Homo-oligomer: A and B are copies of this chain.
């Protein structure tokens, strides 16, 4: 493998260049890339030129570069994100049409939530910090709390051992309190996160399971914190999350039986 004097491979450097683009800086000059990646300008220039030739980056008219359509195409067409999104979208649209609030789906990446999709009504919904392909902290979002509640104990302990940043007065940062929240999520099967990351916004999330009954994603909605009864949205959220899970092949046969027979009256 070709490596620079610093022992870093060409691929590592190329990936660092790609990572230097963000939603807030979608176009960069080569000097900006060099600064952000700590690469010499000549090296950055050479790698950027090659990435442009390969279609991973595109050169804009003003000489700035940006992420290429081809890289998006390659990364999207066979990604699990796309698979899950494809299955979830019709359900998410139905949920969004009924609730008329942000509807989103997130997965766990490391100890953060990576949002795969977000549907928002035009000018009808509350402020929402989640972005598609954006990340948010696991302990301060409804999706994160669901993903953490159903993740392996080691990951939970890793997060609980971290210093957890406080975003609002409502962010749960105390490990003991967070343990209590996670236990409640497991018991109720959903979470209501009131203004934990943004004042004015309340998140509700429920788990999405795959055919091995593993929680692989969280479905969430963001509603105004002024909503007097956020828990009233839980049934439609839970039903939608179950619909997506079922479309992914989840749910044990007993539940299938309940579904085909209808709900048992005495339970």
Contacts and interface: CB of A to CB of B under 8 A. Distances in A.
Interface of A: 1-2, 9-12, 14-15, 18-19, 21-23, 25-26, 46-47, 50-51, 54-56, 58, 66-83, 86, 89-91, 93-94, 96-97, 107, 109, 114, 119-122, 131-135
Contacts of A86: 132
A80 B68 CA distance: 8
For this chain, the copies found in one complex come to 2
Given A72-B82, A90-B121, A119-B93, A134 B11 contact: no
Nearest to A71: B75
B93 A81 contact: no
Given A22-B78, A77-B22, A114-B69, A54 B12 contact: yes
Contacts of A97: 93, 97
Given A55-B15, A120-B90, A78 B25 contact: yes
Given A96-B93, A121-B90, A133-B77, A15 B54 contact: yes
Given A11-B47, A71-B79, A75-B75, 6 more contacts: A26-B83, A66-B78, A72-B82, A73-B133, A76-B133, A82-B132
B23 A77 contact: yes
Contacts of A23: 77-78
Contact of A75 (B67, B119, B131): B67
Contacts of A9: 10, 50
A51 B58 CA distance: 21
Contacts of A89: 119-120
12 contacts: A1-B2, A2-B10, A10-B10, A11-B50, A11-B51, A69-B80, A72-B81, A75-B75, A75-B76, A76-B133, A90-B122, A93-B93
A248 to B, nearest CB: 14
A69 B82 contact: no
A134 to B, nearest CB: 6
Contacts of A107: 69
Contact of A50 (B1, B70, B132): B1
A54 B13 CA distance: 10
B80 A66 contact: yes
